[in-house]
Amino acid sequence: MFNNLTIVGVGLISGSFALLAKEKGFAKHVIGVSRTKASEQKALDLGIIDEALPLEEAVKKADLIYVAIPVDATIPVMKQIMDIVTDRQVVADAGSTKFALCRALEDHPMRNRFVATHPMWGTEYSGPEAAVRDAFAGRACVICEKEKSDPAAVKAMENIYRELGMHIVYMDPEPHDVHAAYVSHISHITSFALANTVLEKEREEDAIFELAGGGFESTVRLAKSSPAMWAPIFMQNRENVLDVLNEHISQLRKFKACLEKENMDYLYELMENANKIRRIIK
């Protein structure tokens, strides 16, 4: 489908995307752009990219440019990219926030070459070594402002994501950021907070290692995620994250009150209500 794919960022998302692009035949040659030479070399060593180039050269050489970097860097980098691209190229991003980026690019003369996407997949690991070939399958990919992108560019990205095993959801940027706060961002911030709670109260690392069961491991797993990626997400989606965080704190207070007042009936009711999530997540 594309001769040359440029990935801006050579970490988990872009690296996995690049591996699958070559494996599934929708890119023949992968060019990598990274902030550090170490990451570029690691991506080369792992076969994620075929060559590493500076941003401008990499963009000019590409048919598809795929941007997966921390969201605070995405806007300035994307503006650089959009100033270079022609009407024969496609640009897509994989960022977890969409409103700020879409607003920043709304009046750019090459806006129609950009497809705003958010593949709803990830792990707690980062860097080129985190890239895997079994990524994305069975997950949703959100496409925002489809009507502002060239139909052929949208179709190309839809085909790629479907080939990766994803189903497509269309959303405006603002509701996307609201929903992302509730189903993704709060999970991460809660995990970071829980890890800090345990580290603060449990001083014996051996006890954490020996006694932590599957429930704790699955709940705190996301605390291993990169602060360089997640701090900008929380800040860029600050209002929505604060909204969901306030609600989460309110729910925690209810559980706390039940224990303080020894209110078994209400405690049971809260947990029984939470069980309704089974209807949605099996």
**Distance (Å, whole) CA 234 – CA 112:** 28
pLDDT confidence of residue 216: 75
Q: Which of 143, 141, 236 is nearest to 185 (CA)?
A: 236
Residue 206 has pLDDT above 80, yes or no: no
pLDDT confidence of residue 280: 76
Can you tell me the mean pLDDT for 145-155?
Answer: 98
- The per-residue pLDDT of the chain, averaged, comes to 94
Q: Which two tokens stand for residue 122?
A: 């990830």
Which class does domain 176-279 fall in?
Answer: mainly alpha
List all residues 6 or more positions away from 82 whose beta carbon is below 8 Å from its beta carbon.
91, 105, 108, 110, 111, 113, 114
pLDDT confidence of residue 219: 81
Over residues 229-240, the pLDDT tens digits come to: 999 999 999 999
Over residues 77-117, the pLDDT tens digits come to: 999 999 999 999 999 999 999 999 999 999 999 999 999 99
* 3-class SS string, 198-233: HHHHCCCHHHHHHHCCHHHHHHHHHHHCCHHHHHHH
pLDDT confidence of residue 278: 87
**Distance (Å, whole) CA 100 – CA 34:** 23
CA distances to 184, 219, 248, 271 from 251, rounded to whole Å, are 18, 17, 5, 11
pLDDT confidence of residue 199: 85
**Distance (Å, whole) CA 80 – CA 108:** 11
Over residues 243-276, the pLDDT tens digits come to: 999 999 999 999 999 999 999 999 999 999 999 9
Can you tell me the mean pLDDT for 168-182?
Answer: 98
**Distance (Å, whole) CA 185 – CA 191:** 10
Domain ranges for the chain, please list them: 2-171, 176-279
Query: What is the percent of the chain where pLDDT is above 70?
Result: 96
**Distance (Å, whole) CA 167 – CA 146:** 15
Can you tell me the mean pLDDT for 136-156?
Answer: 97
Can you tell me the mean pLDDT for 181-202?
Answer: 91
Over residues 54-68, the pLDDT tens digits come to: 999 999 999 999 999
Q: Which of the listed CATH numbers 3.40.50.620, 2.60.120.10, 3.40.50.720, 3.20.20.10 matches domain 2-171?
A: 3.40.50.720
Q: Which of 159, 156, 171 is nearest to 120 (CA)?
A: 171
Q: Which of 151, 166, 150 is nearest to 17 (CA)?
A: 166
Residue 204 has pLDDT above 90, yes or no: no
